[in-house]
Structures are given as structure tokens and as C-alpha cells.
Amino acid sequence: EAGVTQFPSHSVIEKGQTVTLRCDPISGHDNLYWYRRVMGKEIKFLLHFVKESKQDESGMPNNRFLAERTGGTYSTLKVQPAELEDSGVYFCASSQEPRQGGNREQFFGPGTRLTVL
Amino acid sequence: DAKTTQPTSMDCAEGRAANLPCNHSTISGNEYVYWYRQIHSQGPQYIIHGLKNNETNEMASLIITEDRKSSTLILPHATLRDTAVYYCIVRVHKAAGNKLTFGGGTRVLVKP
């Protein structure tokens, strides 16, 4: 079974441009999460989808970031316009609908390395 | 979610057991202890989790103290591929899933 995939693996853009990151979760996983690590900092949560609905978007840094998950399958994260401080690695993770007492393991993708020049 | 404290780094000899401590003195009764690791240039990877009892799987063992204020992740026979940053995370199990809160983790270097 395929794991979580992310596209592109690397993206280099100039300040002010727009970039869209894509995440394909494991098939059947209702929960989809976005995280990012900016240079020298810890991995930070951005938002959480349950199917197509945003369950928690408390980590989204500002309104330049827009996440969507139309149809409850893959998700996109758009940054518009990109700023220098947006550089970092963006991770996507997915998990199954948790059962009482069950494992809430999140499966992570390899990440997208974004560089804003 | 409760805050955790881990050593910044540690070295381990290949083939020996690696014992990674984590303090979570403010953990609540309904919070689980999770361990993830991130190998360089990869996404974080789940290792193990537990609530009260010690747990073991094919990757590691998790020892949780009786008062639950600390835990230890044990890699029984460390290999060079276990070199990674290890994260101890405490979190509740919410009905609709919930985020992971990563700290600085412990950078483990397994040496030949």
C-alpha cells in the first residue's frame, strides 16, 4: 500500500510568487494534517482536516496560507504571496478514524522543501 | 497537551541498547505518551505509544514510571540507521483525532 505522498519534493520560488503544495494521504484515511519546520525551529502544526472539513486550523500562520481538501481525498496548501520566512519543510500526515483506545498513529509524507528567495 | 523535556543529544554505540529519557511531570490522566523519530530528510515516523503500562513492539520498548511523570524509550540493539531525532509527545485521544506537538527532541547518534 502506498504511503503518504507529497508533491513537489522541492520548490524554489521568489518572494511574492505563489506556490501550491499537494498531499495525497493513505487511501481511506479521513484525518489529514499539515505541519512545517522552518529553519532552526521545531516542527509546528498548521491544520487538521477530517474528510473535507477543517477540524483545527489554529496553527495557520496568516491569511497568506490557504489549505483545501475538496472531496476529502488529497489536499493542497497554497502560499500566496510567499515571503522569505515561509521557507522550510512542509509535512503532510494522515491517520485513520480513531477508535476508542486505539492507536492514533499519524503517517507522514517525505515533506516538501520550500525555498523562498 | 502536556509539555515534555528531553536531553538535547546523546550518543550510542552500535549494537548496544539506547535508553532515551523523557520527563512529562504535568501529564494528565487521559494523556498518552507517544514517541516519534525523524531520520534525516524523511518525515517523522511513529515508534510506539502507551498510557500506563509498559509497551513493546518490533521497534522499541516504552517504560512508563508508575506516577507517569517520566518515561524511557529503549532501542534494544541500536543500528546506524537508528541515528535520528527522537520526539517524546504527550497527547489526549480526541474523538476526531488531534495534532502532534513536537518539542526539540533528542538527537541520537549511533556510532560504529
Would you place residue A46 in the very low, low, confident or very high pLDDT band (cuts 50, 70, 90)? very high
With contacts defined as CB-CB under 8 Å, which chain B residues touch A48?
97-99
Task: Give me the pLDDT at residue B92, please.
Answer: 82
Task: Give me the pLDDT at residue A22, please.
Answer: 98
Which of B98, B101, B106, B107 to mutate: most A Cβ within 10 Å? B98
Q: Is the pLDDT of residue A101 over 80?
A: no
Distances (CA, A) of A71 to A21, A51, B23, B35: 17, 8, 41, 32
CA distance, residue B34 to nearest chain A CA (Å) = 9
With contacts defined as CB-CB under 8 Å, which chain B residues touch A108?
43-45
Residues A3-15 as b/e (b if ≥16 CB within 10 A, e otherwise) read ebebeeeebebee
Distance CA B94, CA A106 (A): 14
Which of A6, A47, A106 to mutate: most B Cβ within 10 Å? A106
Task: Give me the pLDDT at residue A66, please.
Answer: 97
Task: Give the end-to-end CA distance of chain B in Å, rounded to a whole number.
Answer: 37
Is the CB of residue B44 less than 8 Å away from at least one CB of chain A? yes
Distances (CA, A) of A79 to A42, A62, A116, B3, B17: 20, 10, 11, 30, 44
Q: Which of B32, B45, B94 sits opposite A108 (nearest CB)?
A: B45
Task: Give me the pLDDT at residue A98, please.
Answer: 66
Q: What is the mean pLDDT of residues B102-106?
A: 94
The DSSP secondary-structure symbol of B98 reads -
Q: Which amino acid is at B95?
A: A
Helical residues (DSSP H) of B3-99, grouped into ranges: none
Q: Which amino acid is at B65?
A: T
Closest Cα in chain B to A92 = B43
pLDDT in tens, B55-99: 999 999 999 999 999 999 999 999 999 999 999 999 887 766 788
Q: Which amino acid is at A31?
A: N
Distance CA B40, CA B34 (A): 20
Q: Would you give the distance in Å from CA B29 to the centre of its chain?
A: 18
Q: Are B78 and B14 in contact (CB under 8 A)?
A: yes
- Is B99 in contact with A103 (Cβ distance < 8 A)? no
Residues B82-103 as b/e (b if ≥16 CB within 10 A, e otherwise) read bbbbbbbbbbebeeebbbbbbe
3-state secondary structure of A51: coil
How many residues appear in chain A?
Answer: 117
Q: Which of B43, B46, B104 sits opposite A110 (nearest CB)?
A: B43
Task: For the beta carbon of residue A1, count every other beta carbon within 10 angstroms.
Answer: 5
